[in-house]
Structure 1
C-alpha cells in the first residue's frame, strides 16, 4: 500500500509517520527545501513514541521517498493526503493537479480544519475531508466529511492504521472538534484580556481537571455522571438555567489587536519559553504515551485506549510450535524506565509474564479457558539480569517449553535486543495449573494438557 503526502509541514509530517510506521510506503511532495529535514525530525519523534503504545511490534516500516514532481509522488497511490496551508485558492490549485495525476481509485483526503467538501470540490475535485489532530501519529481521532461511500472506504483504511474515524453527518464549517476548540479559545482570549487568568493558569485548569475527564469520557457522559443516580435529566434540570447566566463571552469576541497578541505571546513565552519546540513535543509525546497506555490497560480499554487495544489485537504475530517460540516482540515504552535511565527490573518480569501468557493462549489456556475457572499460576521464577535496556529499544523473547507434565509447566525465556541479538536477561519460570474456584492445583483440561506435553516433547527433541 502507498500513501502520497502533499505538503510536508507539521500535519503532513505526522501523516507520513502514521502511514510509514504502519507498514505503508510513503511518497512526499513539498517544494519547501526544508521539508525533508522537518519530516525526518517528526519521524524521529514518531519512531520513539508510537511503538510505545503497543505490547507487540508494529509492522515493518514502509519505504519513504521525497519527490519534486507531484505526478511522480501520487503514481500508484492508494491514498493521497493534501496538507497544504489553509488557503482555498491554493487547495483548488493542488486538487486540479491531483485530478489530472492521481489514480482514479485513490482516496483523496484533505487535512483542512475548516473548509467543507463542497468548497474544496467546487472546481471539480473529488476530495473528502480527513481532518486529523496533532500529533497525527499518536492521536486516533480523524474527522471524515464528504461522499458517504468514499468515507466508508476511508474509515476502513484508517482503522487499519490505528485511527478512530468519526463520520460527520452534515457539512459544517470547522467540522465538529474544532468548533469546540474555537469556543474554548475565544473564551480563553477574554480571560487573559480581562486579567482574570494568565495563559499558564488557563492551561492548568484544563490539564489538571476536565481535560483528563474528557480524555476518557467525553462531554455528555461526563455530565451524565455528574447527575448522580438520577442521571442526565437531573443534571440538565440542575444546571440548565446556567445557560442564561453571564458565564461566557462566546458571543462577543475580543478585538484581535496587537496589544492582545503581545499579551498572549509574552505570557506564553514566560510559561514555556525555556523549552525548545522539540523538547515540548517530546514532553507532549511522553505524556500522551503514558496516558494512552494507562487508558488501554483499564479493563476493556477506555476512550482512545480501546482503539489502541483493538489495533494491537491485529498486530500479534502467529506462533509456531518449533523451538524456540517467539513469544514477545516489542519496543520498550517510555514509562518502563526508572531513575537510573534504564528499564526497571520489575518490567523484565512483566516481559516474561507476557511471554508466558502467549504460551498459555497458544496451548488453549486463553481468556475463555480462564473464564471457565482454570488457569496456570506462576509458582517460581529465576530471573538473571545480564544487560541494561533503555526506552525505545526493540526487544524480543524466545521461549522453550522445558517441562510439560500433568499440572506442571516449565518455561525457559531469553530476552534479547533486536538490533544485535544481545542477551539482556533470562528467566526460568515454573507454573502450576490451578482451579480458580478452589485456588488449588489440578490437572489441565485434556486438550490443553495434550498440547503442553506435545510441545515439551518437541522442544526436548529440538534441544537434543
Structure 2
C-alpha cells in the first residue's frame, strides 16, 4: 500500500483546511478536529475554492470526493487514520502537546506529519511514545495546488518513515522533498525570510511601496523561479561556461553592501501602519476569498503552461501535474468501458472555467479544440491507447479537423461531448464529435476529425495492433447503423 487510505487533519485553518481539500479531492476520507466555532464554515469555503481550482486545473477523472467528518476530540478524529496532519498554531508547547495526544491515540503504524513552518521535529517529538513515525511535512499555501511538501525528520524519525511519506504523497499530486538534516525554518522559509527581510527594509527606507516591490518580483525573477528555481536559472546566466563562470563573475558581489540581510528592521508602529496602508491601497478592494480565487487561477495557468513544456514532457510543477493526471487517468480512465455503443459515446463531462473565457465572458476558441481533443483522447483510452501505449512508441495522430461553432458557451456552462465513429480501417479512425450544453442538450460545436495510427519512433503510419482493432470493431459496427450526423462532409462556408 503506497497511497493514503484515510487522513486526519488536526487544525482546520488556512493550512489545515487546504490539506483537507487536497486529501478530499484525491478521494480520501478526512476526519477533522478543530475547536474553532466556525471551523466547518471556514473549511467548507476553502474546499469550495479548491474544487473550483481543480475544475480549471485538469480534465483527468478525479476519484469520488472523500467524505469530510468533524469530530469533537482529537482521539475520535485520528481513529483509523494512516496519515495524520497536525496544523495547529505555531507554538512549540501547543504543537508538542497536540502531537503527544495524537501519538497516544493513533494506530502505531500511522504517519504523523506536522505543518510547522520552522520548528524542528526533534523538539516536537520529544514526549511521543512512537517518535519514529513523526516528521515535518511543511507545505506551501494553497496546499491543494502547490505540490511541494518539505519532509524533515527529527533525531528519532526513521528514514523509512520519510520514504513512505514521500511515496504516499505522490498519488495525490504532491512531491515530497526529503531534507538531509533538520534546521529551523527548513529550506523554503529560510529563503523567503531573507527576501522578506530585505523587502521590509526597502519599504522602511521609502525606496518603493508594497505594490512596486510585488511588481518587481512577479514580472521578473518570480516567473523564472516558478519554472526553474535559483541555481538552474543562474547556471543559464553563466552562458556556455555554466555555473563556474557565473560564480566567478558575480561571486564577488556578495561582499558588496547591497543588502541588509544581517540587520533586522524595527517593525515599530509607524512602519506597520505604512505597510498596512500601502497593502490596503494595493489589494484592500478585494475580499480574501476573491484574492484566493485570483491566485488559484494564476497558479493553474502557470502549471498548465508548464505541463506542455519540454516537448510535452512537462517542466517543474507542470511535470508533477502531468504525472498526477497520468495517475488519475490510470485509475479513472477506464470508467467509460461500460458505455453503450448503440448511441454516440458520451465521453467527456466538463464545465467552462474562468481560465477558459475571453474578454466577452465566452469560451475561447482554442478551448473548443481542447474539449474535442480530450474527447478523442477518451476514445483512445477506451480502445487501449493509453499513456503506456504511447510511451511504447505508437499512437494515433490527428491529421484533419473541421470545426463548426453553432452556439455560445459562457463562464460556468456545463458541457458534455459525444463521439460517433464514421469509418475505420487498420490505420484510420474518422469520427464526429459534438459539444453539448448539458442543461439544454443543444449542440454548441461539432468537429469532424481523422486520426492516423503511427509508429512515432519511425515517423510513419502503420497498422494498429489486433487488440486495439478488436476493441474498436464493436463500436464501429454499432455506429455504422446510426444516422449520419448533420454536418458530416461539409466544407468551410457551405450554406446550411
Answer whether TM exceeds 0.5 for this pair.
yes
Residue 72 to residue 311, structure 1, CA distance change in 2 (3 Å):
same
Q: Which residue does 1:256 correspond to in 2?
A: 267
The correspondence of residues 88-99 of structure 1 with structure 2, limited to 5 A, is: 88-99=92-103
Distance (whole Å) between structure 1 residues aligned to residue 274 and residue 80 of structure 2: 49
Distance (whole Å) between structure 1 residues aligned to residue 386 and residue 401 of structure 2: 21
CA contact (8 A) 1:388 1:424 kept: no
Instruction: Encode CA deviations 1:4-24: one digit per residue, 9 max, x unaligned.
Output: 111111111101111111111
Q: Which residue does 2:110 correspond to in 1?
A: 106
**How much does 1:356 deviate?**
1.9
Q: Which residue does 2:150 correspond to in 1?
A: 143
Q: Does 2:359 correspond to 1:339?
A: yes
Bigger RCO (CA 8 Å, 6+ sep): 1
Residue 113 to residue 394, structure 1, CA distance change in 2 (3 Å):
farther
Q: Which residue does 2:250 correspond to in 1?
A: 239
Distance (whole Å) between structure 2 residues aligned to residue 173 and residue 369 of structure 1: 45
Q: Which residue does 2:376 correspond to in 1?
A: 356
What TM-score, normalized by structure 2, do the two folds share?
Answer: 0.85
Q: Does 2:148 correspond to 1:129?
A: no
CA contact (8 A) 2:23 2:172 kept: yes
Distance (whole Å) between structure 2 residues aligned to residue 424 and residue 142 of structure 1: 44
Q: Does 2:184 correspond to 1:173?
A: yes
Instruction: Encode CA deviations 1:203-240: one digit per residue, 9 max, x unaligned.
Output: 11100100000000000000000001111111000001
Q: Which residue does 1:3 correspond to in 2?
A: 7
CA contact (8 A) 2:437 2:444 kept: no
* Residue 201 (structure 2) aligned to one of 166, 185, 190: 190
Distance (whole Å) between structure 2 residues aligned to residue 199 and residue 28 of structure 1: 37
* Residue 163 (structure 1) aligned to one of 159, 174, 178: 174
Structure 1 unaligned blocks of 5 or more: none
Distance (whole Å) between structure 2 residues aligned to residue 93 and residue 372 of structure 1: 55
Residue 455 to residue 10, structure 1, CA distance change in 2 (3 Å):
same
The correspondence of residues 37-436 of structure 1 with structure 2, limited to 5 A, is: 37-124=41-128, 126=131, 127-146=134-153, 147=157, 148-298=159-309, 299=311, 300-316=313-329, 317-318=333-334, 319-320=336-337, 323=341, 324-325=344-345, 327-360=347-380, 363=383, 375-383=396-404, 385-386=406-407, 388-391=409-412, 395-405=415-425, 408-416=428-436, 422-423=441-442, 425=444, 427-431=446-450, 433=452
Distance (whole Å) between structure 2 residues aligned to residue 265 and residue 314 of structure 1: 44
Distance (whole Å) between structure 2 residues aligned to residue 246 and residue 72 of structure 1: 56
Residue 365 to residue 133, structure 1, CA distance change in 2 (3 Å):
closer
CA contact (8 A) 1:53 1:333 kept: no
What TM-score, normalized by structure 1, do the two folds share?
Answer: 0.90
Which secondary structure state, in structure 1, belongs to the residue aligned with residue 172 of structure 2?
Answer: coil
Residue 394 to residue 91, structure 1, CA distance change in 2 (3 Å):
farther
Which secondary structure state, in structure 2, belongs to the residue aligned with residue 313 of structure 1?
Answer: helix
**How much does 1:336 deviate?**
1.1
Distance (whole Å) between structure 1 residues aligned to residue 277 and residue 403 of structure 2: 57
Of stretches 84-93 and 353-362 in structure 1, the one that deviates more from structure 2 is: 353-362
Structure 2 unaligned blocks of 5 or more: 485-496
Distance (whole Å) between structure 2 residues aligned to residue 441 and residue 219 of structure 1: 41
Residue 441 to residue 217, structure 1, CA distance change in 2 (3 Å):
closer
**How much does 1:248 deviate?**
0.9
**How much does 1:166 deviate?**
0.9
Instruction: Encode CA deviations 1:231-278: one digit per residue, 9 max, x unaligned.
Output: 111100000100111111101112222222122112212211122112
Which secondary structure state, in structure 2, belongs to the residue aligned with residue 112 of structure 1?
Answer: coil
Which secondary structure state, in structure 1, belongs to the residue aligned with residue 220 of structure 2?
Answer: helix
Residue 432 to residue 274, structure 1, CA distance change in 2 (3 Å):
closer
Of stretches 453-462 and 307-316 in structure 1, the one that deviates more from structure 2 is: 453-462
Residue 85 to residue 371, structure 1, CA distance change in 2 (3 Å):
closer
Which secondary structure state, in structure 2, belongs to the residue aligned with residue 409 of structure 1?
Answer: strand
Distance (whole Å) between structure 2 residues aligned to residue 91 and residue 372 of structure 1: 52
CA contact (8 A) 2:24 2:30 kept: yes
Distance (whole Å) between structure 2 residues aligned to residue 322 and residue 230 of structure 1: 61
Distance (whole Å) between structure 1 residues aligned to residue 451 and residue 19 of structure 2: 47
**How much does 1:340 deviate?**
2.8
**How much does 1:28 deviate?**
1.2
CA contact (8 A) 1:56 1:331 kept: no
CA contact (8 A) 2:409 2:444 kept: no
